Each structure stands twice: as structure tokens, then as C-alpha cells.
Amino acid sequence: MGTANLVASRSPAGGARDTVSGTRGQPAPAEPAVQPVEPRPLDGAMARIVPAVGRALMLLNRWFMVPALRMGLGPWIGTPMGGYILLLRVRGRRSGHWRTAPLSYLIADGAIWVMAGFGPRTQWYRNLVVDPAVEAWLPGRVVRCQARVCTDAATRAAVLPRLTRAAGVPGVLIGCNPWRTSDERIVELLSGIPLISLEPSAGPIAAGPDDPNGHAWIWRQAVVGALTAGLVSLGTRRGRAGRPNPR
């Protein structure tokens, strides 16, 4: 996320931002104090949909997203509806081994932005607080970064709504429809959720065509749709050819 320290730096939005720096192996700093706002309880259909979607996403990440992204299929997966996913690689704070987490992300102001959806207890977040040197496996590229925890209110207000909407349908897991909810309410619901800036070691990064707000998904999904239709058509014709002709 000498002794690890919290230091103040200037945020891309021009405000002060708390950041985490330090080296692994020493005691971790106290995590930024964030006063959470109690979210509105879910009711009606959302009370059933949100927990179900959360469980489904956990299985999807483990058995599909992580293997697919490791195979380099990230550019073929991201869409505005399904969201855009990176693999975050962090070192375990106890084992020192690399750990991997699939996360929704946004590229803005020269950095990669992610959030710890389960709050400060999120394991990968606790790991990067101890060792902020991480790797972000984006669609088509791997970027070495320094992770910094953003607590500046203006930066959070600017980034969190965009990051939530970049997650696609999984964005409803915050407890609202992010496309019909105001930016202010989204920030309120995420008040206890750490926002992390992954700042590339090689300098500022720009979003590519396969990242959120890019347009490569249009032709990629057209190719996938055409191939799928072709395979279905071929299978149908073979099935018909294998049937005996009635006499």
C-alpha cells in the first residue's frame, strides 16, 4: 500500500492526497482514517440481486477471469456492460509471494485507479500498504507501479463515480444503479472504501483502445459474434447432414 510512512503529495486534481510509501519488511503504517457513512439498506429486488451477483462474480473471477487474463485474453473480455478488468499483483505481507487479484479499473490523470471493495480489510489492500511496489496487468500490457492510497476528498469525488461506472453491471454491488444515481450519492456509499492510485514507475500512462472508454471492444465483440454465429451454423448443418433421409 527505513519505516513505511504516510506522506502528502499533490493529487492530479490539484488537491492534497495522502500516499503510502515505504519498504517491505517493516511495520505497516496506520491505515488512513475514513469515517464511513452507513449505506442505505437494500430492499426489493436489489436485496436479492446484489448478494447473488457478488457470489457469482467470485466464482467467475476465480475460474474464468484470472486464467483468461493470464493467457492474454484481456482485450477480448472488456466491454462497457461487463466492465474492464486488470490483474493486480502484490506481494504477500507475510509470505513475500506474489498474489493476484482481478479488479475493475480506470485510467485517468496518468495513473491507474482501483478500489478495495471490501474496505480496509481487503487482503490485497493490506498487502500493498506494506509493499506498494505492484504490477498491473492491463489488457495487452504489464505496468510496474507504486500504489498510493488517496484520501483527498476532491480526487475521490472525481474518480469514484467514473470508476464505479467503468465496472459495468458489477457496479450495482455498491448498492445502487450507478447510471441513475448522482455522483454525490456514489461517493457517499463508497465513503469507507479505499481508493488506490497505481502510478507507473515509467511515468504517466494513457488509456488505450482496450481500456475503459476505448472503442476496440466494438470490433472485437463483432469478431466474437461472427465466429460464434459461424460455429453454430456449421454445427447445425453438420447435424442435419448426419440425419438419415426419410424415405
User: Which strands form 133-138's sheet, in the order they lie side by side?
Assistant: 98-104, 85-91, 133-138, 141-150, 195-200, 111-115, 106-108
- The band of 170, judged by pLDDT with boundaries at 50, 70 and 90, is confident
Which residue did the predictor score with more confidence, 160 or 100? 160
Q: Above 70 in pLDDT, residue 213?
A: yes
User: Which grid cell is 149?
Assistant: 492510497
pLDDT of residue 43: 53
> What three-state secondary structure class fits 96?
coil
Confidence band of 166 (pLDDT split at 50, 70, 90): very high
The pLDDT value recorded for residue 14 is 37
Q: Provide the pLDDT for residue 244.
A: 64
DSSP3 helix / strand / coil % (the chain, rounded to 5): 40, 25, 40
* Region 197-226 average pLDDT: 89
Average pLDDT score over residue span 108-131: 92
pLDDT at 246: 60
Per-residue pLDDT, averaged over 72-91, amounts to 84
User: Residue 47's pLDDT is what?
Assistant: 63
- For residues 98 and 74, the model is more confident at 98
> How would residue 146 be classed by pLDDT, with cut points 50, 70 and 90?
very high
The per-residue pLDDT of the chain, averaged, comes to 78
**pLDDT tens by residue, 2-51:** 333 222 333 333 333 333 334 444 444 444 433 333 444 555 555 666 56
Sign of CA dihedral 151, 157, 161, 163: negative
Q: Residue ranges of the domains in the chain?
A: 5-215
Cell reading at 11: 493529487
Higher-pLDDT residue of 235, 214: 214
Q: What is the pLDDT of residue 157?
A: 97
225 phi and psi, to 5 degrees?
A: -65, -40
Q: Give the pLDDT of residue 18.
A: 37
Burial label for 21, CB within 10 Å (0-12, 13-18, 19+), is middle
Fold held by 5-215: Pnp Oxidase; Chain A (2.30.110)
Residue 26 confidence (pLDDT): 46
- What percent of the chain lies above the pLDDT cut of 90? 41
Q: How far apart are the first and last CA of the chain?
A: 74
Q: What is the pLDDT of residue 224?
A: 79
